[in-house]
Structure 1
Amino acid sequence: MYSISFDDQDMIIRVPKEMVEPYSLARFLGDIATRALTKETSFAEVSEVIKRQKRLDELPKGIELLRNPDFNKSTAFTEKERDILGIRGLLPPKVHTIQEQMMRVLENLRRKPNDLEKYIFMISLQDRNKTLFYRVLLENIEELMPIVYTPTVGQACLEYGHIFRRPRGIFITPQDKGRIVNILRNWPHKCIRIIVVTDGERILGLGDLGADGMGIPVGKLALYTACAGIHHSLSLPITLDVGTDNEALLNDPLYIGIRQKRLRGPEYDALLDEFVAAVNHVFPGALIQFEDFGNKNAFRLLNKYRDKVCCFNDDIQGTAAVTLAGLYSALRITGGALKDQRILFLGAGEAGLGTGELIVSALVAEGVAEEEARRCCWFVDSKGLIVSSREDLTEHKRRFAHDHPFAPDLLSAVELIKPTALIGVSGRPGMFTPEILATMARINERPIIFALSNPTSNSECTAEEAYRYTDGRAIFASGSPFEPVEWQDKKFYPAQGNNVYIFPGVGLGVIASWSRLVPDEMFYVAAKTLAQMVDKSDLEKGRIYPPLTRIRDVSLRIAVSVAEVAYRRGLANLPEPEDLEAHIRSLMYYPDYEEYV
C-alpha cells in the first residue's frame, strides 16, 4: 500500500500496490506529489488521477490492445500512449487524428463496387475499431444507414453464412436448454441494458433465414449507438437458433445454424420462457426488443411478456409509431383530423395490425370512442377485404372486421372504401399498381401513399411511380430509401418511414428511467414527438419525417417523452432528475477517442 498525505486538507489517499504497475509508479506518484506540494490539485482531481490510472491498468497492452475493438485507436494512439501501452513500433510512426482516419475509411468505402461489399467493409471496421466505426456512421448517417441496415442488411442476411468472418452476439439453440444462464454469462460485458433478439423466422420481407438472421440484431444495435448514443458495451444481439424451414439453407454447406426443421409448440415456448427468465437473472431490468419473429409468435409473445418484463416488439410497435407519426405529419399538409381519415392497409400482419391498434389507442386518447376509432382502419389481406362476414379470420384480424360488403382485391377495396390513406405492409412488390395510384388520386386531392415494405425490392411501389401516377400530388413515404424524384419541373424528396426514427429514442428513454415495462403509451408519445419535429420546410419538399442528420435530436426528444411516461405511470426505478432532458443528454455516448495517459 502506498500513501500520500495532504496535511493542509487533512486527507490521506491510500493507493493499493496492485492498482499501479511498476513501470508507471514513479510517474503516477510524482505527478500527484508535485501538484499537491504546489497546491495545484484538489481531492476531486487526485481521485480522477487514480481513476485514470486504474483505467490504464485495466487496458490490454501491446498487440492485444491493437486487436481489441473496444479500445483500439489504431494510428491515433499518441506518442506517449505508444510508450506507456507497449505498442511503440507496432504502428506506423505517423499519428493521425480521427478526422484523418475517417477520410481514409470513406475513401476506401466509396471505392467498393456494390453495397454488399460496403456492408462487409463497415462490419470489418466495427470488428477492428468501434469508436471509429460509430463516428463514421454518425457523421455520415444518410449515406451509411442504408449500408449497415435496410436495404443492404437484407442481402447480407441472405448471404450471411457466405460472408461470415467473426461471431457477433450470442447464439442459443434448443440443445442449450437448462444452461442459458451460463451462456449469457459468457458475454464479456456484464452491464447489459438492451438486448435485440430474433429467431430468424421473418427477416424483413425475406422470410425464414434461421441463424443467418443475426444480421438484424447486430444492425439494430449499431443504430441504437449511432442514433441514440447508447454505448455499444450496454447492448447485446442474440439469435435464438431454433432451426429453419428454409430448404435452401438446410442444404447449404456454409449455413451457420443448426440443421433441423424449425422448433414449434411447447418446446419452443419452454425455450423462450427460459431465455426471458435467464435475461432477467443475468441482466436484471434489461430491455428486450423482439425482432423479426413470425406473425403468430410475434403477437403471442408480446402479449405473453409485455406486462411481466421490460420488452417490446419493434415490428409491431415501432412500425406502428413511425407510421402514425407519418400520418400526423401528412395531415399538416392535407388538413383535417386523424379521426376523419379512412386508412386502408394492404397486409394484415405484425406491422399492419400493430399500426391499426396504435391508431385506435391514439384516437381513444383524443376522445374518440373505440368502436368509432376502429372504423377508421380497414385491411386487405391475401384473400381480400377483411369484413365481418368472413369466417377465416384470426382474433387479431377480427378486431378490424367491419360489417361491410366484401371486396376480393385491393383495387375494388379502394373503389369501395374510398380511403384517404393507403398503407402497404404486405412485403409484396408492385402491389400499388398505376391504376390503384391513379384511383387514389381521383378520390383525394392529396392522396397519402405509404409503401413501407422492406427491403426496397419488396416496396409496394417506387417513389417515382407514386408521384407519376398521382400527377405529383401524393404524400409519399417508403420503408427503404428512394432517391429524390423530379416530376414536371418539381423536385420531391421521398420520406423514409424507417423505424430508426422511433426505436432508438424509445430504448434510450426506457433505460434512462429504468422503466419496468414498455406500455403502448410510450409509442403514442414517440409518434407525436416525431411528427412535431418535422419542419415546415421539410413538408414543402414532400418530406414528412425529419432529415436523418437530425436523428440524435429526434432520439433525445423521444427519450424525454418516453421517460416522462415512465415517471408519470410509476414505472421508473430511478428517482426523476430535476432536469430530465439534461440527464438523458448526459448519458448519450459520443464516439471520440479517450485519452489513456
Structure 2
Amino acid sequence: MGAHNLTGTTLLQNGVYSKGTAYSEEERAALHLKGLLPPVPATISMQVEAMMEQLRAFDTPFQKALFLDGLRSSNETLYFRLLLEHIEEVLPLVYTPTVGEVCQKFSHLFRFAKGLYLSIEDKGHVSEILENLPQEAVDMIVVTDGQRILGLGDLGINGMGIPVGKLALYTACAGVDPRRTLPVILDVGTNTERYLNDPLYLGHKHPRVSGQEYDDFIEEFFQSVYKKWPKCVVQFEDFGNNHAFDLLARYRSRYCCYNDDIQGTASIVVSGFFSAMRAKKSKLSNEKILFLGAGEAATGVAGLIADAMVEDGLSREDALARLYLFDSKGLVTTTRGDTLAAHKLPFAKDIPSVKDFEEAIRTLRPTAIVGLSAQSGAFTESIVKAMTEINERPIVFALSNPTSKAECTAEQAYTWSDGKVLFSCGSPFDPVTYKGKTYVPRQGNNSYVFPGIGLGAILAQCKEITQEVFLSAAHTCADMVTEDDLAHGSLYPSLTRVREISHLVAVNIIKLALATGQAQIEAPADIEKFVTDNMYTPDYE
C-alpha cells in the first residue's frame, strides 16, 4: 500500500492505510495500536465475511450502498477486497442501478470528502486548487458536470456519485490503483428547480452556465490537469448532448481522454452484437439496426457498429445505410424539416419520416432494435412480437438504466418472443425460466470494457485513445463469451471474470498502441506480465 509514517488513532482513522482489526501483535506494538483494537487480530477474509453479514442485513439497495460508502471511508483495502470477491452482488450497489438514487440524494447524504469539487466561480484558480489534493500522482480522472446523470437528467453537484462509483469500478475490475484516481465534479450550476429550491443542496444555486464562459472553464481544467499530471487519462462522464460531442471532438487528439457514454457504451454494445452474430451464425454486415434514442450513446454505438461493418467488408456508405435512428420526433430523416444535430446527420435517411416506432419496425423490417432512450416500457409486447414475426432470432437490446428506465424487462423479452430473442440489458435482471429453459440475461455493462481501456491507456501512456481501441475492446470481450454462455442466452461473459477480461483488454490495447505509435513506452518484454505486475490487488502490506 505504499509507505506511510502514521501511528495510533491517526492511522486507524485513515481509510487509505488502515487495516482495521487486521494488525498483527508485532504491528500493534510497533505502531502504538495496543489497546486500541479488540485483542485478537482478524484476517482480511474474516473481515470480508463479517462485512458481508452486515451488508446482507440491510433491506434495500440504497441502505446497502450507504453502508459500503462508510466501509470505504474507514478501510479502502477491505472495501475493494469485498467488492472483488462478491462482484456480481456488490457491483449494482456501487454503480448502476443504485448509484442513481444515491446521486439524487447526494447533498442530503454527504459524510465523507472524496475527490475534487471545482466551481465556475473558481475560474482562474484551478491550478492552485489542484495543489490542495492529497495525491501527488494521478493516473485516472473521471469528470462530470452533472448535466445528464444516467437517465435522471440534471443533478448538478449531486452527480459526484457517478465519478466516485466509476473509479471504484476501474479499481475493482481492472486494478487501477485507487490512490492514483481522482473523481471530479464541475459545478456550473443546475437548471433543476428541485435543487435550486432545496436548502440542503450543496452546489451553487444558479442556472447552468454555458457558451464561452463554460468553454474557457473546461479549457482551464484540462490545461491545469495536464500541466500537473501530463500522463493521466481523463474520462468524460454524463455530460449533456449539447457539450459531450463538442468536448470529445475538441480534446480527443490533444489529450489522452475519452467519453464513456459515447465510446465505452459503443464498445460494449458492439461486443454484444459480435456475440449475437455467433448465436445467429451470421455477419454484422447482414444486420439492419434501428435505434430508439439518438443521443450520445445511440450515435456513439451506431458509429462504432459502422466501423465494425467496414471491418467486415462493407463500404462506409453501405454500413451507414443499414443504421437507423428514431428520436422524440420520429425516424431521423433528411425530409423531416427540422435542423438536425451534427451527431445525427450521418444516419439521416432520405425517406419519409415515420412518427410511430412500431410502424418504423414494420416499414424498415430491422433485424435488431437497440433502446437507448431512457423511456421505461418503450418496447411493448406488440413491438417485440413484431420483431419476432420479421426475424427468426430478433435482437432486442433494452439498454437504458437505471432499471426504472429499461425499455422492457428480460422476462417480457423472452416471453413475448417465445424464447427466440437475443437479449441484452443496461441494468441487471435475474435469470428467466420460460417453457422449461433458463435464460441468463447479462447486463451490457460498460464495466466489461472501460476499466481495461483505462488500464491499457495508463500503462501504455497513450498519446490519445483512438476508435480502434474501442473495437479492440469489443472483440476482446466477445471472444471471452463461451458456447455455454450463448446456450443460456448470455451475450456477455460472467462478470466474475471481469479482472481476466480487463487484463486482456489492457494487453491488447498496449499492443495496439505500440503498433500504431500511440504508446509512449518501450515495448515490455512480456506484455501480459507487465499488465499483471501493474494491477492493484486489495491486500494488506
TM category (shorter chain) comes to over 0.9
Aligned partners of 2:305 and 2:511: how far apart in 1?
21
1:157-306 superposed matches below 5 A: 157-306=103-252
| Amino acid aligned to 2:93 | I
Letter in 1 for 2:500: D
Residue type at the aligned position of 1:333: A
Does residue 412 of the first structure (1) align with residue 359 of the second (2)?
yes
Aligned partner of 1:341 in structure 2 is 287
Who is 1:527 aligned against?
474
Q: 1:177 and 1:540 mapped to 2: Cα distance?
A: 55
Contact 1:290 1:311 in 2 (8 A): yes
What residue is the counterpart of 1:120 in the other structure?
66
1:545 aligned residue (492, 505, 510): 492
* CA deviation string 1:72-93 (max 9, x = no partner): 0011001000010111111110
Letter in 2 for 1:518: I
**Contact 1:351 1:425 survives alignment (8 Å):** yes
8 Å Cα contact 1:346-1:379 kept in structure 2: yes
Q: 1:81 aligns with which of 7, 24, 27?
A: 27
Equivalent residue for 2:275?
A: 329
Q: Secondary structure in 2 aligned to 1:63?
A: helix
Q: For the residues of structure 1 that align with 2:190 and 2:492, how far apart are their CA atoms?
A: 37
* Partner Cα separation in structure 2 for residue 471 and residue 323 of structure 1: 23
The residue that corresponds to 1:566 in the other structure is 513
* 1:476-527 CA-partner distances (Å, limit 9, x unpaired): 1101100111111111111200100110010011001101100011001100
SS at match of 2:59: coil
Check whether the contact 1:451–1:477 (CA below 8 A) recurs between aligned residues. yes
Q: Is residue 589 from structure 1 mapped to residue 536 from structure 2 by the alignment?
A: yes
Q: CA deviation at 1:175?
A: 1.2
CA contact (8 A) 2:384 2:413 kept: yes
Q: Distance in 2 between matches of 1:337 and 1:184?
A: 49
8 Å CA contact retained: 1:196, 1:217: yes
8 Å contact kept, 1:185–1:282: no
Offset, 1:103? 1.0
**TM-align CA RMSD:** 1.0
After TM superposition, the structure 1 stretch with the greater mean CA deviation from structure 2, 148-157 or 174-183, is 174-183
Q: Tell me, what secondary structure is at the counterpart of 1:239?
A: strand
Deviations 1:213-266 (A, max 9, x none): 000000000000000011101110000011000000111111111111111110
- Distance in 1 of aligned mates of 2:337 and 2:308: 29
Give the secondary-structure state (helix, strand or coil) at the position aligned to 2:429: coil
Contact 1:198 1:239 in 2 (8 A): yes
Counterpart residue type for residue 318 of structure 2 = E
Instruction: Quote how far apart the aligned CAs of 1:551 are.
Output: 0.2
Q: Tell me the secondary structure at the aligned position of residue 473 of structure 1.
A: coil
What is the aligned partner in structure 1 of residue 443 from structure 2? 496
Tell me which amino acid in the other structure corresponds to 1:293. Answer: F
Give the 3-state SS of the residue equivalent to 1:416 in structure 2: helix
Corresponding letter in the other structure for 1:255: Y
CA contact (8 A) 2:293 2:326 kept: yes
> Which residue number corresponds to residue 156 of structure 1?
102
Identity across aligned pairs (percent)? 48
1:107 aligns with 2:40: no
Rounded Cα–Cα distance in structure 2 between residues aligned with 1:488 and 1:162:
46
Q: Give yes or no for contact 2:285–2:313 (8 Å, CA) kept in 1.
A: no
Match for residue 437 of structure 1? 384
Which residue matches 2:431? Answer: 484
Q: Residues 279-307 of structure 1, C-alpha deviation per residue, up to 9 Å, x if partnerless? A: 10111121000000001100110001001
Partner of 1:457: 404
In 2, the alpha carbon distance for the partners of 1:337 and 1:238 equals 41
CA distance in 1, matches of 2:508, 2:301: 20
The answer to which structure, 1 or 2, has the higher relative contact order (CA under 8 A, 6+ apart) is 2
Which residue of 2 is the match for residue 26 of structure 1? none
Q: Within 1, Cα distance between the matches of 2:297 and 2:119?
A: 27
The answer on whether the counterparts of 2:425 and 2:441 sit within 8 Å (CA) in structure 1 is: yes
Partner AA of 2:524 in structure 1 = P
Out of 522, 530, 541, the residue aligned to residue 575 of structure 1 is 522
Aligned residue number for residue 396 of structure 1: 343
**What is the SS of the residue equivalent to 2:396?**
strand
Equivalent position of 1:383 in the other structure:
329
How far did residue 415 of structure 1 move?
Answer: 0.4
Structure 1 segment 128-147 matched on structure 2, within 5 A = 128-147=74-93
- Provide, for residues 536-580 of structure 1, a one-character-per-residue CA deviation record: whole Å limited to 9, x for no partner: 000000101000100000001111111112111111111010111
The separation in 2 between residues aligned to 1:113 and 1:367, in whole angstroms, is 52
AA partner of residue 197 (structure 1): V
The worse-fitting range, judged by mean Cα deviation, of 185-194 and 240-249 is 185-194
**Selected match of 1:517 from 464, 474, 478:** 464
> Partners in 1 of 2:78 and 2:418 — Cα distance?
45
Give 1:208 shift: 0.2
Q: CA deviation at 1:402?
A: 1.4
2:6 is aligned to 60
**Is this contact kept in 1: 2:284–2:312, CA < 8 A?**
no
Query: What secondary structure is seen at the aligned counterpart in 1 of 2:517?
Result: coil
8 Å contact 1:383–1:409 — kept in the other structure? no
TM-score, structure 2 as length reference: 0.99
**Map of 2:261 onto structure 1:** 315
Structure 1: tracts of 5 or more residues without a match: 1-51
Aligned residue type for 2:380 = T
Q: 2:42 aligns with which of 77, 96, 99?
A: 96
The secondary structure found in structure 1 opposite 2:136 is: coil
For structure 1, which segment, 188-197 or 396-405, has the greater mean C-alpha deviation from structure 2 after superposition? 396-405
SS at match of 1:102: helix
Rounded to whole Å, the distance in 2 between the matches of 1:167 and 1:188 is 12
Q: 1:172-228: per-residue Cα shift (whole Å, max 9, x none)?
A: 001111110111121111110110000000000000000000000000000000000
Q: What is the alpha-carbon distance in structure 2 between the residues aligned to residue 331 and residue 361 of structure 1?
A: 16
- Alpha-carbon separation, structure 2, partners of 1:416 and 1:219: 42
8 A contact 1:535–1:546 mirrored in 2: yes
Q: 2:293 touches 2:325 (CA, 8 Å); kept in 1?
A: yes
Give the structure-1-normalised TM-score.
Answer: 0.90
